[in-house]
């Protein structure tokens, strides 16, 4: 008999009927003799609704109070699922993050899990109860409610699996696994039977929201067997996230990720002197703004254009910081563009294959898509292009790299 942590996302618990379907699935697993801990998200749309409500009072909501509020979404679904299970004769108890307790630091809205008490869960599991835990939330050393960042219930699931040394963490969602790219954008996308932690981490950090980045980091660090599955289908193995790279023949590219959530900022006419990158990015970092891609190029007149990307939500804040910096260093102008997106190819196979970048650039050239920025690492290549070309770029690359489903 195994100990299994199952996490159900927003659409999987989006209606009372869906919650009952989750209860039926949990009952089947529990009935086979397994110990089951279930983590649930808020009903789909609920977290957005709560955030909008807070913003109606305060455009930039107080983070502590925002966490008090958004954590209520998950408190509703844990109770509903416990009721649904009891209704079909399964003993179950629901717990908030604080009740467990899932201990975090005090970084409201993006807290990190520091420790998990397993005593209360173990006591209930010992009585053959299903334990239901609210995703996305924890409690800080002062007893404040914290939340783990959007999509954070994935991380709750994996962290509980690590703490309980579970045999598997199953992430149930509205797709039946991890695909070569978002199947909503490319209908020809293929489900992957397996993907390495390393690749999944890149996919997640480059914009594939199927798993929260931190959940993948956690699973890799604590060696938690992690599987993504559909809560809408009865059968299927889903996708296993694995450490093992030696599965059959490695394709060069495993997947394509994209991100529409960035904005590009350019400081024009920067004097080309030592320390200039620091003078520009130092204040940006001090303002707690994370910088992603960076491009710098020197022109004939010994000035440079310094371009970088930030999260779209931080664009205004970054511009305000840079207007001041530009005056100080004698730069000509600061401009920004939020109609951009980043498209990335990911694959451990890139390590042993040359020519991926040129094939990528050639494919985009054939579609007449202009590349604005490029960055590479050992297992990924990212480009920034105009946002209106996102779907065209992803589809063309998906076909060019042989990722499309075979035609029926
Ligand atoms: P949940 O509410 O269950 O946490 P999410 O919406 O967070 O679900 O994640 C599932 C969604 O992730 C899918 O509906 C799909 O559109 C999107 N997605 C993005 N990239 C991928 C990918 N490579 N494979 C599968 N799904 C992906
Ligand atoms: N309900 C939270 C969100 O919408 C956490 C999650 O669903 O994972 O971000
Ligand atoms: Mg999610």
Q: Give the number of whichever ligand sits closest to the CA of residue 77.
A: 2
Does the structure show a pLDDT above 90 at 211? yes
Determine the pLDDT at residue 299.
74
Report which protein residue has its CA nearest ligand 2's atom 8: 151
pLDDT for 354 equals: 87
Q: Over 80: is that where the pLDDT of 30 sits?
A: yes
Q: Which residues sit with Cβ closer than 5 angstroms to ligand 3, an ion?
A: 9, 151
Dihedral (Cα; 363, 368, 372, 373), 10-degree rounding: 0
Q: Is the CB of 11 under 6 A from ligand 1?
A: yes
Contacts of 4 (CB under 8 A, 6+ apart): 29, 34, 35, 36, 37, 166, 167, 168, 169, 170
Distance 143 CA to ligand 2 centre (A): 21
Ligand 1: distance of its center to the CA of 153 in Å?
A: 13
CA dihedral (146, 43, 256, 348) positive or negative = positive
Test site for ligand 2: of 49, 150, 158, most ligand atoms within 8 A of the Cβ: 150
pLDDT, residue 246, reads 64
pLDDT of residue 353: 87
Q: What angle do CA 175, 41, 117 make, to 5 degrees?
A: 120
CA distance 77 to 44: 11
Averaged pLDDT, 4-28: 98
For ligand 1, is residue 230 a contact (CB within 6 Å)?
A: no
Q: Look at residue 58 in the predicted model and tell me its pLDDT.
A: 94
Q: Can you tell me the mean pLDDT for 245-271?
A: 87
Which of 49-53, 151-155, 243-247 is least confident?
243-247
Of the listed ligands, the closest to the CA of 41 is 2
Render the burial of 118-144: b for 16+ CB within 10 Å, e for the rest: eeebeebbeeebbbbbbbbbbbbeeeb
| 137 — pLDDT class (breaks 50, 70, 90) | very high
Mean pLDDT calculated for residue range 327-337: 93
DSSP 361-398: HHHHHHTTPPP-EEEEETTEEEEEEEGGGHHHHHHHHH
Which of these ranges, 51-60, 64-73, 243-252, 271-280, has the smallest mean pLDDT? Answer: 243-252
CA end-to-end span of the chain = 40
What is the average per-residue pLDDT within 213-233? 95
At 147, list the tokens: 């939340």
Indicate if the pLDDT at residue 367 is higher than 90.
yes
Domains, the chain, ranges and CATH? 3-245 (3.40.1160.10), 256-400 (3.30.2130.10)
Q: What is the per-residue pLDDT across 159-174, written as a single tens digit (0 to 9) for each?
A: 999 999 999 999 999 9
CA–centroid distance, residue 209 to ligand 3 (Å): 6
Angle 175-201-134 (CA atoms, 0-180°, nearest 5)? 60
Give the DSSP letter of residue 179.
B
Cβ of residue 80 lying under 6 Å from some atom of ligand 1: no
107 CA to centre of ligand 3 in angstroms: 20
Q: What is the pLDDT of residue 296?
A: 87
Using CA atoms, how far apart are residues 136 and 22, in angstroms rounded to an integer? 19
Closest atom, ligand 1, to C-alpha of 173: 3
CA dist 140 and 68 (Å) reads 12
How many A from CA of 192 to the centre of ligand 1? 14
pTM listed for this prediction: 0.94
Angstrom distance (rounded) from CA 40 to CA 94: 10
Encode pLDDT of 77-132 as tens digits. Answer: 999 999 999 999 999 999 999 999 999 999 999 999 999 999 999 999 999 999 99
pLDDT on residue 302? 83
pLDDT score for 188: 95
Nearest-atom index, ligand 2, CA of 152: 8
* Angle CA 407–175–360, to nearest 5: 55
The per-residue pLDDT of the chain, averaged, comes to 95
Q: Closest ligand to 156 CA?
A: 2
pLDDT at residue number 406: 86
- How many Å apart are CA 184 and CA 257, to the nearest integer? 12
Q: Residue 366 has what pLDDT?
A: 98
How would you classify the pairing of strands 303-311 and 291-298?
antiparallel
Answer left, alpha or beta for residue 104, where phi above 0 means left and psi between -120 and 50 means alpha.
Answer: beta
Pairwise CA distance, residues 325 & 331, whole Å:
8
**Residue 170 CB less than 6 A away from ligand 1:** no
> So what's the pLDDT on residue 248?
53
Q: Is the pLDDT of residue 317 over 90?
A: yes
- Model confidence at 315: pLDDT above 90: yes
Tell me the mean pLDDT in the region 257-275.
Answer: 94
């Amino acid at each position: 008999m195994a100990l299994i942590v199952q996490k159900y996302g927003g659409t999987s618990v989006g209606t009372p009927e869906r919650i009952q379907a989750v209860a039926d699935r949990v009952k089947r697993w529990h009935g086979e003799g397994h110990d089951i801990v279930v983590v649930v998200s808020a009903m789909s749309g609920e977290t957005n609704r709560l955030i909008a409500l807070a913003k109606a009072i305060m455009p930039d909501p107080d983070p502590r109070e925002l966490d008090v509020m958004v954590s209520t979404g998950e408190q509703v679904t844990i109770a509903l699922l416990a009721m649904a299970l009891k209704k079909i004769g399964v003993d179950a108890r629901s717990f908030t993050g604080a009740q467990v307790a899932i201990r975090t630091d005090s970084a409201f809205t993006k807290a990190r899990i520091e420790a998990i008490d397993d005593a209360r869960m173990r006591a209930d599991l010992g009585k053959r109860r299903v334990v239901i835990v609210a995703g996305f939330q924890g409690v800080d050393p002062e007893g404040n409610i914290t939340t783990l960042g959007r999509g954070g219930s994935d991380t709750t699931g994996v962290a509980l699996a690590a703490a309980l040394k579970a045999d598997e963490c199953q992430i149930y969602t509205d797709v039946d696994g991890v695909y070569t790219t978002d199947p909503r954008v490319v209908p020809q996308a293929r489900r992957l039977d397996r993907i390495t932690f390393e690749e999944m981490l890149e996919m997640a950090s480059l914009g594939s929201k199927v798993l929260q980045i931190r959940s993948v980091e956690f699973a890799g660090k604590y060696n938690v067997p992690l599987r993504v599955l559909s809560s809408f289908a009865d059968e299927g193995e889903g996708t296993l996230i694995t450490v093992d790279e030696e599965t059959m023949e490695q394709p060069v590219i495993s997947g394509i990720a994209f991100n529409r959530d960035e904005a590009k900022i350019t400081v024009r006419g920067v004097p080309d002197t030592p320390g200039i990158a620091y003078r520009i990015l130092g204040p940006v970092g001090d303002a707690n703004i994370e910088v992603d891609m960076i491009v710098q190029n020197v022109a004939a007149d010994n000035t440079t254009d310094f371009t970088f990307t930030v999260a779209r939500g931080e664009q205004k804040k970054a511009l305000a910081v840079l207007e001041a910096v530009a005056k100080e260093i004698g730069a000509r102008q600061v401009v920004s563009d939020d109609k951009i997106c980043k498209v990335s190819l990911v694959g451990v196979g890139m390590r042993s294959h040359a020519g991926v970048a040129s094939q990528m650039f050639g494919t985009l050239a054939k579609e007449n898509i202009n590349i604005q920025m490029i960055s590479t690492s050992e297992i990924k290549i990212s480009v920034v292009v105009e946002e209106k070309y996102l779907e065209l770029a992803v589809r063309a690359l998906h076909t060019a790299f042989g990722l499309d489903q075979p035609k029926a």
